[in-house]
Amino acid sequence: MIDLDTFLSQLVVGLFRGSLYWILAAGLTLIFGVTRILNFAHAAILVTGSYITYTIYVSTGSYVLAFLGAIIACGLLGAVTEVLLIRRVYGLDPLYQLLLTFGVTLVVNEAQKLVWGKGSVYVPTPEMLRGGVAVGAVTVSYYTVFVVIVGFLLLLALHYFINMTMMGLRLRAVWRDPVMSEVLGLNPKNYYTLVFFLGSAIAGLGGALLIPAITVGPGLGDHLIVLAFIVVVLAGLGNIVGSYITALAIGVTWSLLTLVTPELDIVILYLISALILMVRPQGLFGER
Amino acid sequence: MALDRRDFLKLLAAGVGGFVVGTALGYAAKPSEVREVLREVTVTATTPVERKLPKATVRIGVLGIRSGLWATYGEFIEQGARMAAEEINARGGILGSRVELVFRDEQADVVKQARELVDVEGVDFIVGIDSSGNAMRVGGIVDELAKPLIVTHAATHRLTEELVYKQGKKLIFRTSVPVYQDGILAAYIAKDLPVRKWAGINGDYEFGRVSWQLFQETLKKLRPDVEFVAEQWPKFGTEDFRPFISALLASDAEALFTSIWAIELVTLQRQLVEMGGYRKFKAVISTLGYSMDVAYALGKDYPVAELGTWVSGRYIWLYPPTSINKEFVDRFKSRWGKLPAYSSETTYAAIYLIKAALEEAVTLDPDAVAKAMEGMLLLTPAGVRWIRPEDHQAVYEVPYGRIAHKGAEVPLLDDLKAVPAQMYYRHPPFT
């Protein structure tokens, strides 16, 4: 019999996990929505964000600088990748895009090994977010709650940016109809670069949030990208609100399944995903 | 001055005579422990022609995980192999033949890599292998490869019990202690702890399952009053353990057993602290908790449970306290800048096992070399290793200890507990 405390702590832990998936999926789905590129290298960029957070934190001791540094550096990394490489494969068969971004992933992974070594690194949880609330035998740390809140704020910010600002309106124009928006004087190329900057900056934020919570090593992105794709595809490609709900649902379902059927948790999760896609190939919330 | 045949023979006779007299005098004067060495030198000097290998280089293929999150383990294997090869070559090689190493990533289809090592690179031996699954795959084709395989990390007992002992694949050896260390010896530590209810969190793959099973079986025999109240099975590559920990904390367990390793263990330990695991569990046994990557990564944050965080590995750098081990640790530190990881030592030992076997067999014929390895006693940093003839498993002991912070570059261990290897290893016929 599961008591309420256990259920609650499992729920919060699931929301935390879901929020990390969401932050990872947010940039991925934003980039796909506008540019129609499935960026396989997205998680590798996120992990680079973790490493940059680590380096800045170790040398300055400041979380704020480390977080900002990771966000900006990853944004720039994404933008440079778009300008130098991705730009050449717009409109081509998705296979070329996957191959190219997979190649970028390999380069980024190897570069991580060269710069930061093969061992694992982490940074401690920020002082003011240490400790937590006891829910039964489990301490739900403030940091866990912090990540859930940041995830929600990111959703609000993206929603506001896309739907309520002039820049967002232009972005939506390029998103919906690149040809017509070009006729109206918008240069889609600039917006593609912008969206790669934004999506990768969100990955940088994810990386910064990740490294105090888990341990980071080279190639961690390869493990994360699979779940990010599951979230994005289940939600419906390019659907931002849908991705948020799906990510949280996956996090919570997984967490509760771990409690009930620890042997089969992931099997059941994949089974549910497969069933959903059989019934709704366009995803739960539809493509945008 | 030109020598004719007669003069040459005279000189030779005088030289040999002088050598024998000198040796005999030296032999009488030297303390007993040096005599073994002197005898060997005498044998070498009198039969120089036969004691040469048929090739000028002995090529050794080295497999390890060299990509992804566990790449650091391939590096450990490489460091041990390189150091041994450098030392051997600096002293004239193996019977005059140089040692050459060829490294391959076992993550890139290990069977293909093993075949290429033999067919393309022409290696005479294969050493290394981190993953149990990979060790079984290469072990399965060892007769086809027709080269001795010395496993230095993968821990499944099936490699030596099934492939060598039951199926008679006589080319397979292992210099690292198998899962007996994780499952059986851990139970010897657990039996003395004043706790009754245990929980387990182990990887959802062969190694994780076998260590938890052996731990439970052994502990139940040693302490029939214990109970196993919760278990969790995170998959290989789990990056967040919070849901599993939360579920374990919901049980009434008093102590925790885990064979999770490497980067995953670093995360598990940190999240256990964060979620109150170290308030709930009075004792924690972490079978690979003293792997150097984990010790360095956690450093001063390595959590200590009330009754101890008990950790081990397949060799730990501070045991045994012999000069051989101390010198190895010092040399390793100055060569690589860090304390030796266990698989560095086990691979280092494997290269020296090859050297010893070749010096005995004086041929590269795989069967003859394997025969020479059987039953061999080898003095290594981890102590005396005996290559058990029946299953080709190196028998040596590795202790457990409690994590203690003493301001060193890594946490140290208190209360080292060693059990004679003969007591905790499984023995043929493995029933």
Helices within A134-264 (DSSP H only)? 142-164, 166-176, 178-183, 188-213, 220-235, 240-260
Residue type (1 letter), B13: A
Judging contacts by C-beta atoms under 8 Å, the chain B residues touching residue A17 are 240, 242-243
Per-residue pLDDT of chain B (431 residues; tens, 9 = 90+): 444 555 544 544 444 444 444 444 444 444 444 333 333 444 444 555 568 999 999 999 999 999 888 999 999 999 999 999 999 999 999 999 999 999 999 999 999 999 999 999 999 999 999 999 999 999 999 999 999 999 999 999 999 999 999 999 999 999 999 999 999 999 999 999 999 999 999 999 989 999 999 999 999 999 999 999 999 999 888 989 999 999 999 999 999 999 999 999 999 999 999 999 999 999 999 999 999 999 999 999 999 999 999 999 999 999 999 999 999 999 999 999 999 999 999 999 999 999 999 999 999 999 999 999 999 999 999 999 999 999 999 999 999 999 999 999 999 999 999 999 999 999 999 97
Query: Which region holds residue A126: left if phi is over 0, alpha if psi is between -120 and 50, else beta?
Result: beta
Mutate to test the interface with B, among A46, A107, A120, A266 (most CBs of B within 10 A): A120
Cross-chain residue pair B242–A144, CB shorter than 8 Å: yes
Query: Which residues make Cβ contacts (< 8 Å) with residue B239, sequence separation at least 6?
Result: A214, A215, A220, A223, A224, B264, B267
DSSP B20-87: HHHHHHHHHHS-HHHHHHHHHHHHHHH-TTT---SSSEEEEEEEE--SGGGHHHHHHHHHHHHHHHHH
pLDDT of residue B44: 46
Q: Is B199 helix (H, G, I), strand (E, B) or coil?
A: strand
Task: Determine contact, residues B135/B110, Cβ cutoff 8 Å.
Answer: no
pLDDT of residue B211: 96
Judging contacts by C-beta atoms under 8 Å, the chain B residues touching residue A140 are 275
Output phi, psi for A82, to 5 deg: -65, -50
pLDDT of residue A269: 82
Mutate to test the interface with A, among B212, B242, B264, B280 (most CBs of A within 10 A): B242
Cross-chain residue pair A6–B296, CB shorter than 8 Å: no
pLDDT of residue B51: 86
Q: Where are the beta strands (DSSP E) in B129-239?
A: 149-151, 172-174, 197-201, 227-232
pLDDT of residue A145: 95
Q: Which of A17, A122, A254 comes nearest B270 by C-beta?
A: A122
pLDDT of residue B399: 97
Burial grade of A247 (CB within 10 A; 0-12, 13-18, 19 or more):
buried
Q: How far apart are CA B117 and CA B147, in angstroms?
A: 10
pLDDT of residue B305: 98
**Alpha-carbon gap: A117 to the closest alpha carbon of chain B (Å):** 8
Residue type (1 letter), A162: I
Cβ neighbours, 10 Å, residue B165: 18
Task: Determine contact, residues B289/B317, Cβ cutoff 8 Å.
Answer: no
pLDDT of residue B6: 53
Find, among B317, B297, B307, B261, the residue nearest to B415 by Cα. Answer: B307
**Strand order, beta sheet including B98-105:** B98-105, B57-64, B125-128, B149-151, B172-174
Does the CB of B299 have a partner CB in chain A at under 8 Å?
no
Judging contacts by C-beta atoms under 8 Å, the chain B residues touching residue A227 are none
Residues A118-148: pLDDT tens digits?
889 999 999 889 889 988 888 999 999 999 9
β-pairing, B400-404 with B412-417? antiparallel
Q: How far apart are CA B267 and CA A28, in angstroms?
A: 26
pLDDT of residue B38: 39
Cα atoms in the 13 Å half-sphere on the side-chain side of A102: 7
Task: Determine contact, residues B268/B201, Cβ cutoff 8 Å.
Answer: yes
- Return the C-alpha torsion angle A192, A197, A200, A205, nearest 10: -140
Judging contacts by C-beta atoms under 8 Å, the chain A residues touching residue B298 are none
Cross-chain residue pair A220–B296, CB shorter than 8 Å: no
Which uninterrupted H or E stretch holds B119?
helix B110-119
**Alpha-carbon gap: B74 to the closest alpha carbon of chain A (Å):** 10
**Alpha-carbon gap: B63 to the closest alpha carbon of chain A (Å):** 17
Judging contacts by C-beta atoms under 8 Å, the chain B residues touching residue A13 are 242-243, 246
Judging contacts by C-beta atoms under 8 Å, the chain A residues touching residue B276 are 134, 137-139
Q: Which of A10, A118, A215 comes nearest B247 by C-beta?
A: A10
Cross-chain residue pair A217–B243, CB shorter than 8 Å: no
pTM of the model: 0.88
For chain B, give the longest Cα–Cα distance: 92
Angle, in degrees to the nearest 10, between helices A220-235 and A42-60: 130
Q: How confident is the model at residue A288 (pLDDT cuts 50, 70, 90)?
A: low
pLDDT of residue A130: 87
Q: How far apart are CA A200 and CA A34, in angstroms?
A: 14
First to last CA, chain A: 42
Q: Which of A120, A124, A263 comes nearest B233 by C-beta?
A: A263
pLDDT of residue B147: 98
Cross-chain residue pair B250–A6, CB shorter than 8 Å: yes
pLDDT of residue B35: 36
Supply the Cα-derived Rg of chain B in whole angstroms: 24
Q: Which of A137, A214, A258 comes nearest B267 by C-beta?
A: A214
- Dihedral sign (CA B302, B308, B309, B312): positive
Task: Determine contact, residues B370/B148, Cβ cutoff 8 Å.
Answer: yes
Burial grade of B38 (CB within 10 A; 0-12, 13-18, 19 or more):
middle
Find, among B84, B128, B120, the residue nearest to B103 by Cα. Answer: B128
Q: How far apart are CA B191 and CA B188, in angstroms?
A: 5
Mutate to test the interface with A, among B245, B246, B270, B339 (most CBs of A within 10 A): B246
Cross-chain residue pair A217–B263, CB shorter than 8 Å: yes
Q: Which of A14, A113, A215 comes nearest B263 by C-beta?
A: A215
CA separation, residue B83 to residues A134, B89, B101, B329 (Å): 50, 10, 11, 11
Judging contacts by C-beta atoms under 8 Å, the chain A residues touching residue B75 are 118
Q: How far apart are CA A123 and CA A67, in angstroms?
A: 12
Does the CB of B337 have a partner CB in chain A at under 8 Å?
no
Residues A264-273: pLDDT tens digits?
777 888 888 8
Judging contacts by C-beta atoms under 8 Å, the chain A residues touching residue B237 are 223
Give the nearest chain B residue to A261 (CA atoms). Answer: B232
Does the CB of B197 have a partner CB in chain A at under 8 Å?
no
Cross-chain residue pair B274–A143, CB shorter than 8 Å: yes
Interface of B with A in 71-110 (CB under 8 A): 71-72, 74-75
Q: How far apart are CA B304 and CA B269, in angstroms?
A: 10
pLDDT of residue B50: 67
For chain A, give the longest Cα–Cα distance: 64
Q: How far apart are CA B58 and CA A58, in angstroms?
A: 45
Strand partners, B127: B62, B150
Does the CB of B267 have a partner CB in chain A at under 8 Å?
yes
Cross-chain residue pair A137–B239, CB shorter than 8 Å: no
β-pairing, B125-128 with B57-64? parallel
Supply the Cα-derived Rg of chain A in whole angstroms: 19
Residues present in chain B in total = 431
DSSP state of A129: G
Judging contacts by C-beta atoms under 8 Å, the chain A residues touching residue B244 are 258, 262
Mutate to test the interface with B, among A5, A115, A123, A138 (most CBs of B within 10 A): A138
Residues B145-196: pLDDT tens digits?
999 999 999 999 999 999 999 999 999 999 999 999 999 999 999 999 999 9
Residues A198-225: pLDDT tens digits?
999 999 999 999 999 999 998 899 889 9
Residues A148-168: pLDDT tens digits?
999 999 999 999 999 999 999
Q: How confident is the model at residue A259 (pLDDT cuts 50, 70, 90)?
A: confident
Q: How far apart are CA B37 and CA B45, in angstroms?
A: 13
CA separation, residue B291 to residues B114, B127, B261, B334, B412 (Å): 26, 20, 8, 19, 12
pLDDT of residue B29: 44
**Of A54 and A176, which is predicted with more confidence?**
A54
Between vectors from CA B298 to CA B293 and to CA B301, what angle results, nearest 5°? Answer: 165
